[in-house]
Amino acid sequence: MARRTAAVIAVSLGVVLAAAACDAADHVATRTTTEPPRTTASASTGARRAAACGTRQLRWKLTRLTGNPRSASAALLSATNTGTAPCAFDGYPAVEVHAGKGPSVSSKPKAPAPVRHVLNPGRGIEFPLFYETSASPDGSCFLPAEDDASIDVRPPHPARNDYGTSIEMTDAHGRHLRAAVCGVVVQMGSPRLP
């Protein structure tokens, strides 16, 4: 009889403990499904980030500036978001000036600093470009205007199949100009929002 009582008590205790464990599991499950999910600041910020600007939604323009002393920018590169959604301009674009398969000059940031601007539809961004536009005193110029160089531009962080686009240099009135880059690098200044 004592053994039977002990067995009943052991079984009853097991049932009580199992029920308590199930209740705790149900409580945890209910709490996790009814409470709002917790997110870190970086995760919630990441969810609201705009997609990177791509060539398809950007209209590029390269304007040669005149009357500039050596310390002023020689040209102004601008991009306008022509898409229907905001896009992120996260970094510096890449500019390459080249004469066919011959010599080429690439851009690099003048003072690399983090750049992040979200461009709403219709809004733009501008980058001043610094480079030598005339031959040195000995008459040498890396890419003279006679070479009729091509100019390619790519957005920062392009998608896999985004190879950028070709653009023309114009004057302030929109007339086509041949580019002359007499130095071996085009320095890109900090962006500004027009």
- Asked whether residue 194 is domain-assigned, the answer is no
Phi, psi dihedrals of residue 105, rounded to the nearest 5°:
-130, 135
Taking the C-alpha atoms of residue 154 and residue 34, their distance in angstroms, rounded to an integer, is 47
- Asked whether residue 50 is domain-assigned, the answer is no
Strands 165-167 and 94-98: unpaired
Same domain, residue pair 66 and 152: yes
pTM of the model: 0.72
Same domain, residue pair 24 and 111: no
Structural domain that includes position 7? 2-38
What would the pLDDT profile of 93-135 be if each residue is shown by its tens digit?
999 999 988 889 999 999 878 889 999 999 999 999 999 998 8
- Asked whether residue 167 is domain-assigned, the answer is yes
Phi, psi dihedrals of residue 174, rounded to the nearest 5°:
90, 5
Same domain, residue pair 98 and 26: no
Query: Can you give the CATH number for the domain in which 86 is found?
Result: 2.60.40
CB-based contact 145:135 (threshold 8 Å)? no
CB-based contact 98:179 (threshold 8 Å)? no
What would the pLDDT profile of 131-176 be if each residue is shown by its tens digit?
999 888 888 999 999 999 999 999 998 999 999 999 999 999 999 9
- Nearest CA-CA partner of 118 in 26, 51, 21: 51
The token duo for 148 is: 């009729």
Taking the C-alpha atoms of residue 132 and residue 186, their distance in angstroms, rounded to an integer, is 8
- Asked whether residue 76 is domain-assigned, the answer is yes
Share above pLDDT 90 across residues of the chain, in percent, rounded to a whole number: 58
Predicted pLDDT of residue 68: 58
Same domain, residue pair 23 and 85: no
- DSSP assignment of 10-59 equals HHHHHHHHHHHHHHHHHHHHHHHHHSPPP--HHHHHHHHPPPBP-GGGEE
- Asked whether residue 134 is domain-assigned, the answer is yes
Instruction: Name the amino acid, one letter, at 47.
Output: A
Same domain, residue pair 69 and 165: yes
Same domain, residue pair 17 and 70: no
Our count of domains for the chain comes to 2
Instruction: Name the amino acid, one letter, at 140.
Output: S
